Amino acid sequence: MERTASLVPTSAKSAWIVCPHAGMMADLIPILSSRLPEVSLVSSKSYPEIPAIREQLAAEKPAVCFLDVETDAERALAVAGEILALQPSLPIVILLERNDPTLVLRFLRRGAAEFLLRPFPPEEFQVVLERLAPISPLPRFGKGGRVIAVAPAKGACGASTIAANLAAHAAQSDEGKLLVADLDPLAGIIAFLMKVKSPYSFLDALNRATSLDDDLWRGIVTSRGGLDILPAPDNPTDAMAELPDPAPLLEFARQRYQLIVVDSPPVFSRWATSLASLCDELVLVTTNELAAVHAAQRALAHLERQRIERAKVRLVLNRFERSAGLSREAIATALHVEVAHVVPADPETIHRSIVEAKPAPANSAVGRSLRELAWQISGRPAQPAPRPRSAWSGILSSLFSRATL
């Protein structure tokens, strides 16, 4: 038996990995470490005999077992049977190289709880963990602050503008620290909207996610008016390579902020799907143009295929004009989902707010709508809009000051 480096004492919950396949073990351990940072990982590089199984279950009391069934399916089947004979309530997740329904069915009939296919995509791994939650005492990943991801159904729907405004209006509260994280590696514009200049980006935090500490974090983020800003890279080519799992970065942020607003790219990439699976709520932004509604339909179908629960998706209709495009009712009917919020079209106010690096003022129709949405997603009771005279005083004036760092 080998014990991997653990982030918690050995008395904490553990996960037992029975995996003679070296490549499979190498792929599994990083994602387990990132998704279950409070769980001790115990690995077996060969299929154990009955005495070793009994000893392992008694000593470690694992909360879950991950079992390689590719190396030797018959031996793995025997191990699963012995484990469940000794501890019937232990969830077993079988690991496969390929989708083999016959093999999966054999193990499910033996008592296995779930299965995972290599290379273990983070979004699929998260879904398995969520399905195991009712039967496994593993700590749930993501406790702490709430993560709200804002994603466009298609480009130019105004999702980044909404994300920036939501963060700014939510920042009026004194109930904890807030972070706005621009995690769109190719088209992120939060730094532009908020007039922030920084030599660092979320890539610097992401690449150091397993070794981040408060001192390093303070050097990467930009603080302004009680709101921390984590920008996207200035040079999109820096992010062209496949990005690592965002789970450790978001977990670090959850432990330090009450609310994290994430500006996400469209949901179709693996990176964006991972963000959708990790967030507490996904604000999907569309307009009432026919092409945008069609894109929203495709986005919702993709999220469903990736087993992102529909209950966490909040559909927001941006730049709405009743006289142009589809009606709110027609969109709800076409998409088979309720339109949770409507932001009215007001291009002049939005243009002025971008030029002046200020949020849409709360005494405008669009500003009131965005402020209401901010209070909804932050889970705080709505508050009356400030008087026009003081709309930009205090925290918002500081936050959206035109001075750059």
User: Does 401 score more than 50 pLDDT?
Assistant: no
Tens digit of pLDDT for each residue in 29-45?
988 887 787 788 999 99
Tens digit of pLDDT for each residue in 355-368?
887 888 888 999 89
Question: Residue type for 3, please?
Answer: R
- pLDDT above 90 covers what percent of the chain? 50
DSSP, collapsed to helix, strand or coil, labels residue 68 as strand
Report residue 182: phi and psi, to 5°. -85, 100
CA distance 59 to 54: 9
In order of their start, the domains of the chain are: 2-132 (3.40.50.2300), 146-399 (3.40.50.300)
- Which has the higher per-residue pLDDT, 47 or 352? 47
Q: In what order do the strands lie in the sheet with 114-117?
A: 2-3, 40-44, 14-18, 64-68, 92-96, 114-117
What pLDDT was estimated at residue 217?
A: 94
What pLDDT was estimated at residue 3?
A: 43
Mean pLDDT of all residues in 242-249? 85
Report yes or no: 92 and 83 within 8 Å, Cβ to Cβ. yes
What pLDDT was estimated at residue 4?
A: 39
Locus of tokens 């978001």: 250
Tens digit of pLDDT for each residue in 198-234?
999 999 999 888 788 889 999 999 987 678 999 999 8
Tens digit of pLDDT for each residue in 82-106?
999 999 889 999 999 988 889 999 9
Residues in the chain: 405
Mean pLDDT of all residues in 326-351? 93
Q: Kindly provide the b/e burial profile for residues 198-236, where b requires at least 16 CB atoms within 10 angstroms of the residue's own CB.
A: beebbbbbbebbeebeeeebeebbbebbbbbbbbbbeee
pTM of the model: 0.66
What pLDDT was estimated at residue 309?
A: 83
Q: How confident is the model at residue 392 (pLDDT cuts 50, 70, 90)?
A: very low
Mean pLDDT of all residues in 142-170? 88
Tens digit of pLDDT for each residue in 177-202?
899 999 999 999 999 999 999 999 99
Nearest Cα residue to 146 out of 123, 164, 170: 170
User: Does 387 score more than 60 pLDDT?
Assistant: no
User: What pairing do the DSSP bridges indicate for beta strands 227-230 and 222-224?
Assistant: antiparallel
Tens digit of pLDDT for each residue in 100-134?
889 999 999 889 999 999 988 887 888 888 778 76
